[in-house]
Each structure stands twice: as structure tokens, then as C-alpha cells.
Structure 1
Amino acid sequence: ESELLKISYIFPNGDTYGECCHTPEGVMMRQGTGTQISSSGTTYSGEWSNDKMNGRGTLSHPSGAVYEGQFRENMYHGRGTYSFPDGTTYSGNFNNNFEGEGEFTDAEGHVWAGSFHRKAAPGLKLKLNM
């Protein structure tokens, strides 16, 4: 069983991270709950397992885009919400980043529902609040 260390670790590329553990081989791994701030300004705060983003977390990009939800193996996977810099949002299921059933809210506040495959969303339907 590896022991959790509360340290601030600085990676060679300038990224910083807080809760790590040593493997039996002496390798430093991100584990538990922590925040990593990359030198490019991207911040992930949430759960880690096996040195990867696994579990619930929030990933904020310098552009203003934010993903909040579930991760698996460093990818958006499960339920989550992606907020774009222009204020539009996608909320729903993610499968290996952008794929799944969900709802997209446009800049006017209209909600579109359907299937999303990366940047394509064939067959979107406008949800009317009547």
C-alpha cells in the first residue's frame, strides 16, 4: 500500500500539483484529491487515480472554457457540463471527451437536445418551454 504525501510537487515542465504518493518502485504519482496548475494556465481540481484524472473534477482552460463533471483516464467521461468561452454550454453524457446524449444551450438561452459527436450534432431538436 502506497502512502499519501501532502506535498507541492513541481514537474519539469513547470506544472505544480499537491497530494502525491510513491509507488513501490519510488515513482511519484498523483493520487487522491488535488489541484494541478499547468504552466499554460490550465487548472484541474478534483480526483486522481493512477496519475490520471479519474473521478469528479473541474478543468478550467485559459480561454475561459470550463468542464465540470466526471473524468476517466484524463478524458471527459460520464455526466458533465462544458461551458464555452462565449457563454454557451453543453450538459449531458460524455464518452471519451465529446460524445453522447445531451443538451446545448446557445447564446440566446435556447436549449437544443440531441446526440453529439465531437463538433457535429446531427438531428438536434430545439426544446421549447411551453
Structure 2
Amino acid sequence: MSEEALTKVSYIFPNGDKYEGGCGRSASGAMVRKGVGKHTSANGIIYTGVWQEDKMCGRGTLQHLSGARYEGEFNDNMYHGTGTYTFPDGSSYKGHFCHNRLEGKGVYTDSQGRVWMGDFHGKAALGLKMQHTS
């Protein structure tokens, strides 16, 4: 199957969501978000990044209304790969994600600037070590 040229679109969905960016035909012939684009939901959540077959897939940034923000890799509309999640209180996690969950080696910086390193598995993070500063 040859790579087709993408069309640039600006589209407003019936629910009020907006999309500006690449668009192309799926395997079934439907027009889908593809390539780089920006999707703004009616309630203000913004994703800017790569789309594949109408899903967030590749590098991108997702900004939530709460102030939380994820920058990194997506697959099938989920945080998947390496990235940084910044919480509304300013704390952050930088490391690996698997299906929207913290998974593997990572670094958590709390809202006071203390840095914790170790292995993360969803909500569990056994054996974290605090980085000491001089």
C-alpha cells in the first residue's frame, strides 16, 4: 500500500470539538485524523501531536483542564513509551508508561523539589531512593 498525501483540514465536530491538521483515508476508506494535528475538546482538553488512524499515536502533548500535562509517546490513545507527566501541584514523573500507567524506571519530583528514583508499577513504587543534594 503506497503512502498517500495528507490533506490539511480544519473541522468542528457536532459535539463542539475542533481539529486542525492532517487528514487521510483509512484502510476502509473513511477520512481520519492522520499525521500532525491539534485536537481541542469542547471542554478544553488539548492534544497536539501525531495521529495515526484517528488515534493519538506517536509523540505529542496532552493538556488537561486541571493543569496536568503529559508530554511524550502515545499509542492507541494512551500514554505508552517514555514521557513526562506533570501533576496540577507541580510534581512530575519522568520515565516509562504502559497503557496509561507508570511502568518501569522513572524519576518522581515532588512539589517541594525532592527527587525520588526507582521502579514504578502503576500506583506502587517499592524501593524508591531519594536523590540527595549537596
Whether TM-score is above 0.5 comes out as yes
- CA change 1:24–1:103 in 2 (3 A) is closer
Matches within 5 A, 1:1-130: 1=2, 2-18=4-20, 19-23=22-26, 25-98=28-101, 99-130=103-134
Q: Secondary structure at the match of 2:9?
A: coil
Q: How far is 1:7 from its partner?
A: 1.2
User: Is there any run of 5+ residues in structure 2 with no aligned partner, and where?
Assistant: none
Report how many aligned residue pairs link the two structures.
Answer: 130
CA shift in 2, pair 1:103/1:24, >3 Å: closer
Contact 2:44 2:64 in 1 (8 A): yes
Aligned CA distance change for structure 1 residues 75 and 110 (closer, same or farther; 3 Å): same
TM-score (norm 1): 0.91
Runs of 4+ in 1 over 2 A off after TM superposition: 22-26, 117-120
Q: Distance in 2 between matches of 1:120 and 1:28?
A: 41
Identity %: 55
CA distance in 2: counterparts of 1:23 and 1:75, whole angstroms: 20
Contact 2:57 2:73 in 1 (8 A): yes
TM-score (norm 2): 0.88
CA-based RMSD: 1.6
Unaligned runs of 5+ in 1: none
